[in-house]
């Protein structure tokens, strides 16, 4: 049975005005785990974790050199990320031809999302603290075709590195004017655009003195259900990159670089906010992916 002691402690939540959105999310957030599940039991040093990361990357390079082609760029078996140890499959995924339903995608549209939900700075009465930013980019498939009219969801910590989630016990301040969740629908050319606050780095209990680089979680749908992904966007130049086992669960530097937004001064607005560009490629099924439109080749 689940030990609820920690759970009840975790429910002592600082008083916040109810966020105007998302509807229903607060009630669902009650489904939480005891705090003890969050901390890795061994609590090793950063040096040890960094060594494990280096070993795992070297092992990956050996496998690639030997001709292995992993199905996805992210390693599921990555023990430096301690909570993955009992949660990754030990067998290789089975390569299948997608069936019809898997080649289609749930359809979202403007009726699903209000325009204001793309601005995370407008969800409360006052202005949130921190560095106001715009994050925008295109979502395309591996042929470069735009992913139109699809749902993009984001969630993140506030400027101090604190999540509004009740399980976050980081003693940094909550911001009564910032929830940190937003969503939008891509336009006809695959563009999304969020206005938000730059999140702070965030401490966690994977090992001693573990800190996550600042990041925004992204959840994306494509034109096929097989393209569904959840990932994280990072900010350029973060000194925490080499130390972080989650970022480094992607063994190839080029794949890691693709998760880092580009600062774009043309997106920056005078005396208002800094601009970042981040494009996303939703990988399609390889075996029977349909031919590109318009007779390319």
Q: Per CB under 8 A, which of residues 229..258 are in contact with other proteins?
A: 229-232, 246-247, 249-250, 254-258
Q: Which two tokens mark 234? A: 């990072």
Please state whether the peptide bond connecting residue 243 to the residue before it is cis, i.e. omega within 30 degrees of 0.
Answer: no
Where in 52-71 is the site for other proteins (CB under 8 A)? 71
Q: How far is Cα 211 from Cα 246, in angstroms, rounded to an integer?
A: 10
Please report, for residues 182, 213, 215, 222, 279, the alpha-carbon distance to residue 233 in angstroms, rounded to integers and kept in the order given: 14, 10, 5, 18, 10
Q: Kindly tell me which of 271 and 293 has the beta carbon lying closer to other proteins.
A: 293
Q: Kindly tell me which of 89 and 239 has the beta carbon lying closer to other proteins.
A: 89
Check 81, 192, 202, 247 and give the catalytic one.
202
Q: How far is Cα 175 from Cα 27, in angstroms, rounded to an integer?
A: 20
Where in 4-43 is the site for other proteins (CB under 8 A)? 4, 7, 22-26, 28-29, 31-33, 37-38
Q: Kindly tell me which of 271 and 285 has the beta carbon lying closer to other proteins.
A: 285
Q: Which of 121, 223, 226, 235 binds other proteins (CB under 8 A)?
A: 226
138 tagged catalytic: no
Where in 184-213 is the site for other proteins (CB under 8 A)? none
- E strand or H helix that includes residue 275: strand 274-277
165 tagged catalytic: no
For the chain, the distance separating the N- and C-terminal CA atoms, rounded to the nearest angstrom, is 58
69 φ, ψ (degrees, to nearest 5): -125, 100
Q: How far is Cα 274 from Cα 261, in angstroms, rounded to an integer?
A: 12
One character per residue 80-119, x = contact with other proteins (rule: CB under 8 A): -x-xxxxxxxxx-xxxxxxxxxx-xxxxxx-xxx------
Q: Which of 60, 148, 167, 193 binds other proteins (CB under 8 A)?
A: 167
217 tagged catalytic: yes
Q: How far is Cα 110 from Cα 188, in angstroms, rounded to an integer?
A: 12
Q: In this chain, which stretch among 42-50, 124-132, 137-145, 267-275 interacts with other proteins, using CB under 8 A?
A: 137-145
Check 215, 234, 247, 276 and give the catalytic one.
215
Q: Are 221 and 151 within 8 A, CB to CB?
A: yes
Q: Kindly tell me which of 186 and 249 has the beta carbon lying closer to other proteins.
A: 249
CB of 271 to other proteins, least distance (A): 25
Q: How far is Cα 101 from Cα 225, in angstroms, rounded to an integer?
A: 8
In the block, which residue shows the tokens 């349909």? Answer: 290
94 tagged catalytic: no
Q: In this chain, which stretch among 47-55, 57-65, 127-135, 141-149 interacts with other proteins, using CB under 8 A?
A: 141-149
Q: What are the residue numbers of the active site?
A: 163, 202, 212, 215, 217
């Amino acid at each position: 049975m689940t030990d609820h002691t920690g759970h009840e402690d975790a429910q002592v939540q600082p008083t916040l005005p109810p966020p105007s959105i998302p509807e229903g999310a607060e009630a669902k957030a009650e489904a939480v785990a005891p705090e003890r599940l969050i901390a890795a039991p061994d609590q090793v040093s950063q040096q040890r974790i960094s060594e494990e990361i280096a070993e795992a990357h070297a092992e990956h390079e050996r496998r690639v050199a030997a001709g292995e082609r992993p199905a996805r760029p992210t390693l599921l078996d990555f023990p430096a990320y301690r909570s993955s140890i009992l949660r990754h499959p030990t067998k290789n995924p089975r390569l299948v031809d997608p069936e019809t339903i898997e080649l289609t995608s749930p359809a979202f549209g403007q009726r699903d999302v209000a325009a204001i939900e793309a601005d995370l700075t407008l969800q409360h009465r006052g202005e949130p603290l921190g560095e106001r930013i715009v994050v925008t980019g295109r979502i395309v498939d591996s042929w470069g075709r735009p992913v139109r009219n699809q749902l993009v969801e984001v969630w993140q910590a506030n400027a101090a590195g604190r999540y509004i989630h009740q399980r976050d016990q980081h003693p940094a301040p909550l911001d009564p004017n910032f929830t940190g969740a937003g969503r939008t629908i891509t336009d006809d050319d695959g563009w999304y655009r969020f206005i938000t606050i730059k999140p702070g780095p965030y401490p966690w209990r994977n090992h001693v003195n573990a800190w996550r680089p600042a990041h925004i979680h992204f959840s994306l749908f494509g034109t096929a259900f097989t393209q569904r992904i959840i990932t994280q966007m990072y900010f350029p130049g973060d000194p925490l990159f080499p130390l972080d086992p989650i970022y480094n669960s992607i063994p190839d530097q080029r794949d890691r670089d693709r998760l880092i937004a580009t600062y774009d001064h043309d997106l920056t607005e005078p005396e208002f906010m800094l601009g970042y560009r981040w494009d996303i490629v939703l990988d399609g099924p390889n075996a029977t992916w349909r031919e590109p439109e318009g007779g390319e080749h």
